[in-house]
Structure 1
């Protein structure tokens, strides 16, 4: 049974008003006072309640999920309702408040927990871990806030009657300084992954703190580099913490890539996963209030049964991979040959679900497959195949977790940071090849793709060329894991070091005529798709610097005079 099922126990310290975060919309829940929290079990319940906030509908279950998945160049949505503002690029600060509020509420309760522990006397090892988790969770929240919104208000003390409720935005540099400080503390206090009990799977470990430290140093270094500032220290720290994880002996690459996303094997997946947001099928609630995830519904095909929520239910395909993105990974380093007979990277077969069955038992074939079978159904778009759970209770109530950071990414972080420091050195290429070697052997039968890069020093990649290799590798390895938009806005343009990969992809590469803006249709008499490499046109309705950050929530601007409407992010 998974952890964090229905735990919502929170802290309310004396003098706390109905404002835990910087949002003034928060309502004070009915929760126990510190006097009621006396034992280790009480504190453990509080800690579990903090983690439970991440699988809330306002966070990674739904609202935060949309922000992470919809705004990059690899996915699109043609649906309306809540998805339309993201899919059509018409969102505003009205759409971004839920995640902001949830992260700040979690920060507020992390601050409360730290204060509570300052005034309690419990087992020393227990106290160390709780402090470590409070620092980790606070840093985790600020890390998402600063990447999504830029500089944000920093609150590191409990909110009381004499608190300043109207904090101004801190600088990006100040927020990162707090993140690094909290994560370093967490790293020193948290237990090793293998020392965490099976029943506590999903709680933070030393490796989780060090892994996110590595990623955060790389991200902050990228931002400094884009501004023409030295990032040597940040890239060096990224390598140091990546090596700490790699050499810890706590993690390994799961031999079969497909096993990472088999819901019945999720416990074993955490041999590679450093940290994930845990979900479980909730037998007491249903739909959005349930503790289960919605990924199987959002990603899987509407014509295919057996992938979501038991019996003959099917997915909604609310979020689909762009055709150009799918086609890209059937070329170059990732494929030998063309068409249905091509030898593909084994991750392609996991990441893109190409064949299923409808309720009548007939085959369902998704783009780009061109095979013909009797009585088939054909879906004119690709489908993400990482999230399937036929035993979910209902369509919005599955057991699929969202992996935040895995060992495979740590290798790619090391490769990227080394490249930014020294170029495509043999050490950087060896780290990169670790990920590709697993892909070659993922199903137990070695494949010639993806191609390994030479590790003997004969590689002649420029720094920019190797950065593009890493960018593309991350695209397939981490598809639908919430990383692509972050990669686009942090990584450098291939030829202009003052611009981002976002500007390159959205303003230069994808607008080209080689990427049709009309989505493919099936031509039955010709037994082929009408076109390939298509881009969903509305996703190109972007400008810079506007879309390099999300807009601050409208209510925050209206209610916090220390920020005000004039301090909205550029372009919004």
Structure 2
């Protein structure tokens, strides 16, 4: 899809200051029951769901603060920026009123609300069956993605799967994690059966496909440690290939390619803007390129730790980050910054890079991990764990790993963990990998000491989940059904 179109009628929007973020009652005079009539109406509704992914509350900005900055991959250059709230995320000192916590929570529920609006009307709609299947599949996929983010970040969250009134939303409870995952699995299975493998119209390229749904389902299964289910789904994710040139994955001109299963699409130069703020958020304070001077906040900045984690000769280093940048035509300065999303903006906050949610390289590494967890094997032919791992390494210009290098299950597990960090650097995977590998507390405690000489806070397992935004706790005022995280 060339761009995501804002749902002009304002069907679902952020709650007002007096309402809960999960109050999903339509706020315009035109409600879901009166708006949705034609296939074009539903198309607008689905486009509005995609639009939620672009939001600065989600993948436009705030998501990578909770998913990358929280980890040992990136940090904050300006500790005083935004009154220090970004630094709170980096240093595990966040308070329950931190706006990044509120933004992501609210932004994900906007996506869910818009999906529910479509799903609540689609079955009874008098539109062609082919359109009905596509729109329903897209809405289910996008709702699943939002719930997957929420449950990994906050743990138990309200499982809202229909449009609710204000009074109904105030009765929502924090559902068990197992309940949320069961819904995600169910929705993704349904979506995979409804969505096309490819779209015949090139204008629709970038929309969710059956491959998107199956790939995400496999990732969900791996997160749940359902290894056999994961391999069963992931082996059927076909029709994708690794690009020869890793760097070309992240150029604005190559957003649709054979490796991307799903991405958040951005496009610069449009009015109203459909671009992103990645350049201004991630570039150094004084940055000179192509004969012009730019300035950024240099947040989501690669740490010294990840810069040192690349193997010698790894082609992904120069494509992902740099440690020196030009400040003028004749001067340079040492300092780390992310290169993956350094598309020169057409205007302020108008970059054109898309943000990858799921790539085929991720699928390969997930498959290798799931196979190894079911039983270590020294085999290295097609379809084996070593084969999938080495496909990713070959593209990076690195030598194959063998059973001599990785002689047992534990060694192979550690190799996948390390490979995922480098292959998927700055793509919002590291924090979740730290958690599911049960390495988050130890690695982050060591990271705080090594990178910042910090001995406090003393981390515990409770810090692996973010607090529920205080506003939600206050509005629901129900310590039994809507408690704060420990």
Q: Aligned pair 1:569/2:485, yes or no?
A: yes
Q: 1:353 aligns with which of 297, 322, 327?
A: 322
Partner of 1:553: 469
Q: Aligned pair 1:207/2:153, yes or no?
A: no
Structure-2 change in CA distance of 1:85 and 1:503 (3 Å): closer
* Matched-pair contact (CA < 8 Å) for 2:195–2:210: yes
* Matched-pair contact (CA < 8 Å) for 1:22–1:167: no
Structure-2 change in CA distance of 1:75 and 1:131 (3 Å): same
Partner of 2:75: 76
Distance 2:475 2:418 in 1: 42
* SS of equivalent residue, structure 1 residue 94: coil
Post-superposition CA distance 1:242-269 (Å, at most 9, x none): 1111xx22x11111001011222223xx
Structure-2 change in CA distance of 1:433 and 1:42 (3 Å): same
* Matched-pair contact (CA < 8 Å) for 1:22–1:104: no
Partner of 2:2: 2
* SS of equivalent residue, structure 2 residue 149: helix
Superposition pairs for residues 172-571 of structure 1, below 5 Å?
172-192=177-197, 194-195=198-199, 197-221=201-225, 234-245=226-237, 248-249=238-239, 251-267=240-256, 270-281=257-268, 283-285=270-272, 290-306=273-289, 311-329=292-310, 334-335=311-312, 344-359=313-328, 361-362=329-330, 376-379=331-334, 381-394=335-348, 396-426=349-379, 427-440=384-397, 450-454=398-402, 460-491=406-437, 500-507=438-445, 509-510=446-447, 517=450, 535-537=451-453, 541-563=457-479, 567-570=483-486
Superposition pairs for residues 66-105 of structure 1, below 5 Å?
66-79=65-78, 80=80, 81=82, 82-95=85-98, 96-105=101-110
Distance 2:200 2:155 in 1: 34
Post-superposition CA distance 1:458-494 (Å, at most 9, x none): 6652222111111111111111100000000111xxx
Partner of 1:445: none
Aligned length: 473
Structure 1 or 2, whichever has the larger Rg, is 1
Distance 1:214 1:548 in 2: 23
Post-superposition CA distance 1:264-285 (Å, at most 9, x none): 2223xx3211111112225435
* Matched-pair contact (CA < 8 Å) for 1:300–1:387: no
Distance 2:454 2:9 in 1: 42
Structure-2 change in CA distance of 1:390 and 1:539 (3 Å): farther
Q: When the two structures are superposed, what TM-score results if normalisation uses the length of structure 1?
A: 0.77
Cα displacement (A) at 1:6: 3.5
Cα displacement (A) at 1:112: 2.0
Q: Say which is worse superposed, 421-430 or 407-416, in terms of deviation.
A: 421-430
* Matched-pair contact (CA < 8 Å) for 1:56–1:291: no
* SS of equivalent residue, structure 2 residue 337: coil
Q: 2:146 aligns with which of 104, 118, 141?
A: 141
* Matched-pair contact (CA < 8 Å) for 1:276–1:401: yes
Cα displacement (A) at 1:129: 0.8
* Matched-pair contact (CA < 8 Å) for 2:255–2:265: no
Q: Aligned pair 1:37/2:36, yes or no?
A: yes
* Matched-pair contact (CA < 8 Å) for 1:424–1:461: no
Partner of 1:369: none
Superposition pairs for residues 15-54 of structure 1, below 5 Å?
23=21, 28-30=26-28, 32-33=30-31, 34-54=33-53
* Matched-pair contact (CA < 8 Å) for 1:10–1:50: no
Distance 1:159 1:297 in 2: 38
* Matched-pair contact (CA < 8 Å) for 1:276–1:402: yes
Listed as ranges, the gaps of 5+ residues in structure 2 are: none
Distance 1:189 1:539 in 2: 51
Distance 2:139 2:24 in 1: 21
Cα displacement (A) at 1:38: 2.1
Distance 1:540 1:488 in 2: 19
Distance 1:3 1:74 in 2: 30
* SS of equivalent residue, structure 1 residue 259: helix
Structure-2 change in CA distance of 1:9 and 1:423 (3 Å): farther
Q: When the two structures are superposed, what TM-score results if normalisation uses the length of structure 2?
A: 0.90
